Each structure stands twice: as C-alpha cells, then as structure tokens.
Amino acid sequence: MRQMLSGDGEVEPNAEHVSELTSEIYKEDALSPLIHKLFILGWEARKDLVYCLCIFLRQMAGSSYCCVEYLENHSELLDFHVVCYNSKDIALNCGNMLRECIKFPSLAKCILDSTSFELFFKYVELPNFDVAFNAFATLKDLLTKHETAVSEFLTAHYEEFFENYEKLLTSKNYVTRRQSLKLLSDILLETPNSYIMKHF
C-alpha cells in the first residue's frame, strides 16, 4: 500500500489510483480498523501504516478531504491517538499522526475540545524523554497552528487551562519549565490572544 501511495523511487504514484484508494478506505469504513491495528503491528509496519494514514488525510477525493471528515465524525479515534502516549511502543507513531491531524483546523479543534486534551499536561512530564518531547511537540502545534481556534479555546477554558499550565511552569524538570515558558510567550503574543495576555 505504501508503494502505491508514494511510488517506488523511480515511478511516481498514480494520482487517480491514490484518490480511488482513499475514497474506498473512506467508503468501506476502513480507517478505524487500520488505526486500531497499530497495537499489534511490528515497528516497521507501524511506521508504514502511519505514513499511509498521513497521505490519506492530505488526499482529496472529489472535492473534499474525506478522511478528515471521517475523523471529524469519529473523534474517538483522535482520543485514541492521544491516549496512546501511555504506550511507549506506539506513542511516537501516534504523536506523528496527531501532528498531521492538527494541520487541519477542524481536527485541531476536536482535540482541543476533547477531555483527552488535558492528558498532554501529564504526557510532557513522562520519564521517557522521547515520548515527553514528542508530546510537547504535539501540544505546541495544538496551541500555535490555528490562532483563532486557540483564542476561542483559551477564552472558553481560561481557568482550567492555566491551572494545568502552571504545573508545567513550576515543573521540577528544567527543560519542561524552559519549553513551557517559551511556548506561553508565543501563545500570548499572538494577536488574537491580546485579551488573554491582559487577563493573564
């Protein structure tokens, strides 16, 4: 499947075939079973699957991003990816997939509005450096990629967000404190967040 989607280095992928495959994945409701297979696949197969899923997200079928629409209507799959930071075997794969999803404003909003969002404040403090670093990269993308959605989120959830964020700013881990302070500065200096900065 990966070769069909990306070519083999000598031959470019056939755009029509890729679009047809994406459309079939959507129509046959195959995205959910594929995502849930991450747990049982080996490392190389997981990497290939995430690569293919990212292509499906970016692929238009007709006039729409059908796989993005699928995830909008099955937001539990986004929650699944977030919760997978608890499993070090697939945490990095799921983090890569989440950051691909976050490129789409509607999916970023789904994650921000989900109760699973608060888990990121725990994940960035995990003892496994690679997983914690990956989780912070995802949190950063969530809070910086789409200014309007983030501003609306912060306005609606000011108290609980900054209560959680305060824990990062006072973390025992120097790297976490430094990264969190830099990210906070980036967030507050965004024009739509001027009200938040005054409030803060």
Residue 94 lies in a domain: no
| Pair 110, 56 in one domain | no
For residue 6, pLDDT beyond 90: no
Residue 132 lies in a domain: yes
| Pair 196, 107 in one domain | yes
- pLDDT tier for residue 165 given thresholds of 50, 70 and 90: very high
pTM to 2 decimals? 0.88
pLDDT tens track for 18-50: 777 778 888 888 889 989 988 898 889 898 889
Last residue of a domain, one of 28, 59, 74: 74
| Pair 123, 59 in one domain | no
- pLDDT tier for residue 157 given thresholds of 50, 70 and 90: very high
For residue 2, pLDDT beyond 90: no
For residue 8, pLDDT beyond 60: no
| Pair 63, 133 in one domain | no
Which pLDDT score is estimated for 31? 87
For residue 78, pLDDT beyond 70: yes
Average pLDDT (82-106) is 95
For residue 14, pLDDT beyond 70: no
* Overall number of domains in the chain: 2
Which pLDDT score is estimated for 189? 86
Residue 93 lies in a domain: no
For residue 111, pLDDT beyond 80: yes
- pLDDT tier for residue 60 given thresholds of 50, 70 and 90: confident
Average pLDDT, the chain: 89
| Pair 127, 63 in one domain | no
CA distances from 162 to 146, 156, 195 (A): 19, 12, 14
Its domain, for residue 141, covers: 103-200
For residue 9, pLDDT beyond 60: no
